[in-house]
Structure 1
Amino acid sequence: MRTGMLALSLGLLCPIFLTALPSVGTLSVLAVLCLVCLWRRLFPLAFFLFGVCWSSLCAQSALDDRLARQLDGRTLWIEGRVVGLPEQGGQRVRFELQDAQSRRAELPRRLRLTWQDGPALNSGEHWRLAVNLKRPQGLLNPHAADAEAMLLARGIGGLGSVKDGVRTAPASGAWRDGIRQRLLATPANGREAALAALVLGDGAGLAREDWNVLQATGTVHLLVISGQHIGLLAGLVYGLVVGLFRLGWWPQRQPWLPWACGLAFAAALGYGVLAGFQVPVQRACIMLAVVLLWRLRFRHLGVAWPLLVALNGVLLFEPLAALLPGFWLSFGAVAVLVMVLGGRLGRWPIWTAWGRVQWFIAIGLLPPLLALGLPVSLSAPLANLVAVPWLSILVLPLALAGTLLLPLPLVGEGLLWLAGGLLGWLFDLLGWMAAWRPAWIPPALPLWSWLLVCLGAFLLLLPAGLPMRLLGWPLLLLAGFTPRAFVPPGQVDVWQLDVGQGQAFVLRTRDHTLLYDAGPARGDVDLGERVVVPTLLKLGIRRLDLMLISHAHADHAGGALAVQRGLPVGRVVAGEPDPSWPADACASGEAWVWNEVRFSLWQWQGADDSNQHSCVLKVEASGETLLLAGDIDRFAEQAWLQGFQAGPVDWLQAPHHGSRTSSSAAFLDVLRPRGVLVSRGRHNGFGHPSPLVMARYAARHIAVYDSAVLGAVHLRLGSFGSARGERERGKFWRDPT
């Protein structure tokens, strides 16, 4: 039976690795084969085929529930009910609308909407809204999280920005939102938002600095992932019953074990309802139910059995949960504990056992963290060694008790004030650890190197004394020694990053790296910090020889400071001076050679606005040429054509994101590029790229590589090959290009 359960889990996981879902005909054949296998008692194969069919059908249903293509970019009046906990961030409100309806079109069951300068919204309210709708899609860069996959897994069928709206019915049944408002209004030593995250799983109010501290110390799971809280509370209740029994204070006529298991699950289920019963909570409750049932009745089955049952229970209920990083990390952590602590915990002193638990989890979760492209916390074992008991024994009980006792004057408020103080001390300690050992963003590993790291982790998790165990250390250390991508002399590895309505190009020769523009920054959203720096690190780039900022507009220069904070920069050159960061002026005619690749700069001396001041970069590699033109307009283009560098190029960065004021016919006729790279945001307010410009490209048979369609675009200059977008890497949930 255990083999059958394993086969079922493999079948349920199989579709998420496919480039396209099986057709109806293929699924029909698989279903027939499944029945034949059942008849012939080939149960493992039958379970596997059933898992593939069920997971594929659920995935196809989720795809069918996405916003129709003909509605992408349209503005409609829709009606629906606000669900979950709306996120109030600055002047922006982000919330989810359930059961949205429109008289003019059929809509997905759930939409995620953003309302700039919108009013305060409460869960349970009904609204009539004018919404500019978009298909669920996000930025897509190499080795980064796939927002489209995560939206699909969470059942978000469409995105949108609200233009106007009116409340049609007040909130009903929105008790969680009421609790959140009460928690945020109750003084708690400045940690009101953190307590709301701890009690309700709502991290929207956490400051950016708090997020950075939690990520750097590997303790995010303690504060905002409610599945972790479920286990902590259940363990606390179970331990309380065991303690009363051992002290002789438990009623002798009542068997302690059934009561311990029942009360632990009841507490966990109640907390799950309080936390919104989202997918992580559902997963935790299923796992906890299986573990408690195993503890109560089926201990003879071994410790791996409940893990398999929980895994299949989660995947049967929500097959697309496997698209979420938290799924792999939570089950991975449990699997590590099952492997290393089964039958051995009782032989260790409590603090020795607790320290080894953190060490084992750090080693065991390294491979999934590398595979998922997530930061690795170097201080996580030490941070969790202190934070988990501090939070579970002191803060969480006080926070939950204070929340339940808020109707009592002073009692609930006093408990929350004390919990907030304890949480503040913990944040102070974690902040010190984060400064001592910041999070490490590892470079992306090739498959063979990652498999060796997995082998190293497995060897280190084996019991001490086994042969070859110490060989795990050199294999594990391969995670920090990634083979550098080989770029032959005379060639340039070029990435146009997907930074929305902005621009950032990474150019890497064999020994040098140049960044042309650093992505946008607007308000509290800095894509230089969120996208450019992590992508550089994941590409194995630890230093920039040159950062060239075309001009001072925020969509090109906004991320410059974040890049300089994130990694060393040898030299900065800018088309326009900026007082916030020093830079050399763009010197028209300056040229240099890196690894047999020639780089040269140009700037129009007659420029009279910021766009015209753009510093233009020309790159020549083995006879193939790339022109990065910044935001120059047709007048600057005419000046370029009169210079000595004018002539045909192979690749052109669309000037000014394809604005109608650029890419003039005369400019294109002289350059005659075979491909143009467009960096822009979907449905941007500027109308980029202009249909007129796109028509000019089409008339000259110029291939267009649009970041809004393709995600990040990669080409190897000097090889005379073609460019490829990240979205072209086959995944069944990605929109075809």
Structure 2
Amino acid sequence: MLALALGLLALRFLPGLPSAGMLLLMAACALALLFSRGYPLGFFLLGLAWACCSAQWALDDRLGVALDGRTLWLEGQVVGLPEAADGVLRFQLQDARSRRAELPARMRLAWYGGPPVLAGERWRLAVNLKRPHGLVNPQRFDYEAWLLAQRIGATGTIKSGERLTPASGLGSWRDALRQRLLAVPAWGRQGGVAALVLGDGSGLTAEDWRLLQHTGTVHLMVISGQHIALLSGFLYGLVALLARLGVWPQRLPWLPCACALALGGALIYGLLAGFEVPVRRACVMVALVLLWRLRFRHLGAAWPLLAALLVVLLLEPLASLQPGFWLSFSAVAVLALAFAGRLGAWGWWRGLTRAQWTTAIGLLPMMLILGLPVSSSGPLANLLAVPWVGLVVVPLALFGTLLLPVPLLGEGLLWLAGGALQLLFALLGLIAGWLPAWLPSELPWWVWSLAALGAALLLLPAGVPLRLPGLALLLPALLVPAQGPEDGQADVWVLDVGQGLSVLVRTREHSLLYDAGPRFGDFDSGERIVLPSLRALNLRRLDLLLVSHADNDHAGGAAAVAAGMPVARVISGEPARLARSLAADACESGRSWQWDGVTFRLWQWPQAASGNPRSCVLQVEAEGERLLLTGDIDAAAEQALVQSGFPLASHWLLAPHHGSRSSSSQPFIDAVGPQHVLITRSRHNAFGHPHPQVLARYRAAGVAVHDTAYAGALHLRLGKWLAPRGLRSEARFWREK
């Protein structure tokens, strides 16, 4: 079983998938080894072959390259619960058909300003289709891996559409129930109630999710193994209590009935939640634990955990691509280790407190390697929130939903559930303000290994020697010193923020961020991309935030960055148009300074009359190697820059205005004489950036083009005279080159 599990898990770490011939050879070797009783290696190869085969099927179901960026009319059925936020409707379409092309089985679509869409409806839609593609940055969330794990073969933006058939099926019933829950007055917490009953988190605001993240309580507001286990445990305990009191029917053996009732409750709750992958995983774990309790208790607690891991991975090998998979099984393993083999019974309070601190320590190495926020207040917040949600909020929400047909009673219970949630969020707000979460840096493998060993030592039973030294082994991971480049050199990261710009320049002791990416609706790249990337690079403060100008694609994320870490000073080409909270100073054309042997120079066109030409231009020079960051200046501003006497010659040039046809004029390119040009933009952007004529000019001048849309975030060491490294070049079998 262990060998089979390791083979299935190995998929997550493969840089590429083996060919069909290699897969057949692997399967044949596995069968031969099994027949010759070479069980460990045979089962490992069998698990790896099945996982690779399943992953290849998912990759083969992606949108064809010829259809990438094209608009097609198609028909399909809405599955899952549509999510609406800030005027954008997002939902998944299944079994889509088009007369012009073969389409993936499942797609994720967005409709800006579209009409209401219900689960179970069939629609005819005009969709601009795209192959699965995500932004690749130092931060760890991988959107392409998430899409593949969901077996989503395409994304797209809807241009227009018409409803063909009304809603039907289970999805329609869940959507109607969601609308009913959202219509019940519940202290403004209807979205939270719907999240606990249906697993639909779209009713929670961005501020709610931020609060949950800071306090390490995100798991409480999504239907997870904890909620499934609580309901199953309640039903099991109810039958056990009735049997102990002597009121259970003697002709019915109480243990099989308790297990059957607990499993039935878990499956019904999972059905309410749409039976998505995390819920299926929780139901499998509950089923195997109940089977273990019924027939196999003598085998020990590790058996149901390993069996659940195998069942989940055999049914869906791509589950290992999701962080939730690793966290859920790690949490169960940590709790099993913490409570197994202890002598004597513990009171409920001691058991609850031990569960919280052991989980916090045990999951720390996993959080570090996954790059997830680590909540310092998590143990305290969970100590209060877990029993409150499990024993008060969830029962009230479920019973209220069940009794909705009874006038006033169901709505009254839901009103109480909303009030309980309101109290919880008020308390979490106080805790988060006191101890916010922190994003871990990317750790060397040896530091992470020490942290994992230290956590394992701390989880050993009391009285075992060497427990306290485990705390010392954790400290290097928590106190990693910032390491900048050598004197006279600069680390430059051109982040992949889509249709926008954000560039980090870091010397040995100082750091500067040039622009902070866009903000579109509820997606703030400053909060979602830039800040996590800065944290992953072990940056804890900024000496200067330079916002070239106030357009959204450059300044949209600036407020989130300034709110998320200390910023000593803000400079902008358009300070009056920025948020007041930034308190920006004006760009001082002609100003220059040095940090750790690296020279910085500013320039701005004083005659500029609008936003783009007013961009504050920055040149960075390290050991004679120069980088020119140009914002969105146009051809007129370029001409003024050429004539200004500014030392323009640079080896690296950020293409003005993302490669727009209105910029990158030939005289400007000749004056700069770059060897490399950096282009930041999103694939298939509506502006046509970069323009083919601009690319032709750069290539005719012998300039190497580096595009974040294809390379991901770009890293270069100014002063070393080396080629840049694109993060998309790191081999991942799910990542498109």
With normalisation by structure 1, the TM-score equals: 0.98
Q: Does the 8 Å CA contact 1:230/1:284 hold for their aligned counterparts? A: yes
The CA distance in 1 between the partners of 2:245 and 2:726, in whole Å, is 65
Residue of structure 2 equivalent to 1:723: 724
Residue of structure 2 equivalent to 1:541: 539
Residue of structure 2 equivalent to 1:327: 325
What amino acid does structure 2 have at the position aligned with 1:182?
R
| Map 1:98-177 → 2, pairs under 5 A | 98-173=94-169, 174-177=172-175
Q: Does the 8 Å CA contact 2:119/2:167 hold for their aligned counterparts? A: yes
Residue of structure 2 equivalent to 1:633: 634
The CA distance in 2 between the partners of 1:667 and 1:225, in whole Å, is 57
The CA distance in 2 between the partners of 1:258 and 1:672, in whole Å, is 79
Alignment partner of 2:186: what SS? coil
Range 518-527 or range 673-682, more displaced: 518-527
Q: Does the 8 Å CA contact 1:226/1:275 hold for their aligned counterparts? A: no
Q: Deviations over 1:37-70 (max 9, x none)?
A: 0121111111101001000000000000111111
Q: Deviations over 1:598-634 (max 9, x none)?
A: 1111111222221111111111111111000111111
Structure 2 unaligned regions, length at least 5? none
How far 1:245 sits from its partner (Å)? 2.1
How far 1:345 sits from its partner (Å)? 7.3
* Alignment counterpart, residue 193 of structure 1, candidates 184, 191, 194: 191
What amino acid does structure 2 have at the position aligned with 1:240?
L
Q: Does the 8 Å CA contact 1:13/1:322 hold for their aligned counterparts? A: yes
The CA distance in 2 between the partners of 1:348 and 1:572, in whole Å, is 55
Residue of structure 2 equivalent to 1:616: 617
Residue of structure 2 equivalent to 1:674: 675
| 2:215 equivalent to 1:214 | no
Residue of structure 1 equivalent to 2:602: 601
How far 1:189 sits from its partner (Å)? 2.0
Q: RMSD of the alignment, in Å?
A: 1.3
Q: Does the 8 Å CA contact 2:74/2:124 hold for their aligned counterparts? A: yes
Q: Does the 8 Å CA contact 2:454/2:474 hold for their aligned counterparts? A: yes
The CA distance in 2 between the partners of 1:359 and 1:583, in whole Å, is 43
Residue of structure 1 equivalent to 2:554: 556
What amino acid does structure 1 have at the position aligned with 2:324?
G
| Map 1:570-589 → 2, pairs under 5 A | 570-578=568-576, 580=579, 581-589=582-590
The CA distance in 2 between the partners of 1:169 and 1:650, in whole Å, is 59
What amino acid does structure 1 have at the position aligned with 2:99?
R
The CA distance in 2 between the partners of 1:32 and 1:715, in whole Å, is 46
What amino acid does structure 2 have at the position aligned with 1:464?
A
Residue of structure 2 equivalent to 1:368: 366
The CA distance in 2 between the partners of 1:439 and 1:542, in whole Å, is 13
The CA distance in 1 between the partners of 2:520 and 2:173, in whole Å, is 35
* Alignment counterpart, residue 424 of structure 1, candidates 422, 425, 430: 422
Residue of structure 1 equivalent to 2:71: 75
How far 1:644 sits from its partner (Å)? 2.5
* Alignment counterpart, residue 54 of structure 1, candidates 39, 50, 54: 50
Note closer, same or farther for the CA distance 1:195–1:315 as it changes in structure 2 (3 Å cut).
Answer: same
Q: Deviations over 1:382-441 (max 9, x none)?
A: 111121111122221221111112112112111111211122212221221111211111
| Map 1:296-307 → 2, pairs under 5 A | 296-307=294-305
Residue of structure 2 equivalent to 1:492: 490
Residue of structure 1 equivalent to 2:283: 285
How far 1:86 sits from its partner (Å)? 0.4
Residue of structure 2 equivalent to 1:23: 19
What amino acid does structure 2 have at the position aligned with 1:332?
S
What amino acid does structure 2 have at the position aligned with 1:360?
T
With normalisation by structure 2, the TM-score equals: 0.98
Q: Does the 8 Å CA contact 2:484/2:491 hold for their aligned counterparts? A: no
Q: Deviations over 1:108-151 (max 9, x none)?
A: 00000000000000000000000001111122210320000011
How far 1:75 sits from its partner (Å)? 0.5
How far 1:187 sits from its partner (Å)? 1.5
Residue of structure 2 equivalent to 1:36: 32
The CA distance in 1 between the partners of 2:3 and 2:483, in whole Å, is 37
Residue of structure 2 equivalent to 1:272: 270
What amino acid does structure 1 have at the position aligned with 2:733?
F
Q: Does the 8 Å CA contact 1:601/1:617 hold for their aligned counterparts? A: yes
Q: Does the 8 Å CA contact 2:484/2:509 hold for their aligned counterparts? A: no
Alignment partner of 1:543: what SS? coil
The CA distance in 2 between the partners of 1:437 and 1:232, in whole Å, is 28
Range 450-459 or range 524-533, more displaced: 524-533
| 2:458 equivalent to 1:457 | no
Alignment partner of 1:365: what SS? helix
How far 1:504 sits from its partner (Å)? 0.6
The CA distance in 1 between the partners of 2:576 and 2:560, in whole Å, is 14
The CA distance in 1 between the partners of 2:303 and 2:57, in whole Å, is 30
Alignment partner of 1:232: what SS? helix
How far 1:696 sits from its partner (Å)? 1.2
The CA distance in 2 between the partners of 1:657 and 1:724, in whole Å, is 19
The CA distance in 2 between the partners of 1:346 and 1:273, in whole Å, is 38
Residue of structure 1 equivalent to 2:691: 690
| 2:411 equivalent to 1:413 | yes
Q: Deviations over 1:50-107 (max 9, x none)?
A: 0010000000000001111111111000100001000011211111100011111111
The CA distance in 2 between the partners of 1:509 and 1:486, in whole Å, is 6
Q: Does the 8 Å CA contact 1:236/1:392 hold for their aligned counterparts? A: no
Q: Does the 8 Å CA contact 1:517/1:556 hold for their aligned counterparts? A: yes
Structure 1 unaligned regions, length at least 5? none
Alignment partner of 1:625: what SS? strand
Q: Deviations over 1:637-665 (max 9, x none)?
A: 11221232344311100100000011111
Q: Does the 8 Å CA contact 1:632/1:662 hold for their aligned counterparts? A: yes
| 2:710 equivalent to 1:709 | yes
Query: What is the percentage of aligned positions where both structures have the same residue?
Result: 62
Alignment partner of 2:468: what SS? helix
Alignment partner of 1:163: what SS? strand
Q: Does the 8 Å CA contact 1:201/1:275 hold for their aligned counterparts? A: yes
Q: Deviations over 1:347-373 (max 9, x none)?
A: 322211110011100001101111111
Q: Deviations over 1:331-355 (max 9, x none)?
A: 0000101111113275322211110
Residue of structure 2 equivalent to 1:294: 292
The CA distance in 2 between the partners of 1:54 and 1:268, in whole Å, is 29
* Alignment counterpart, residue 312 of structure 1, candidates 301, 310, 313: 310
Alignment partner of 1:466: what SS? coil
Alignment partner of 2:575: what SS? coil
Note closer, same or farther for the CA distance 1:647–1:188 as it changes in structure 2 (3 Å cut).
Answer: closer
Q: Deviations over 1:276-333 (max 9, x none)?
A: 0000011111111111100000011111111111001000000000000100000000
| 2:9 equivalent to 1:8 | no
The CA distance in 2 between the partners of 1:440 and 1:577, in whole Å, is 30
The CA distance in 2 between the partners of 1:524 and 1:388, in whole Å, is 28
* Alignment counterpart, residue 231 of structure 2, candidates 207, 221, 233: 233
Q: Does the 8 Å CA contact 1:237/1:263 hold for their aligned counterparts? A: yes
Q: Does the 8 Å CA contact 2:139/2:532 hold for their aligned counterparts? A: no
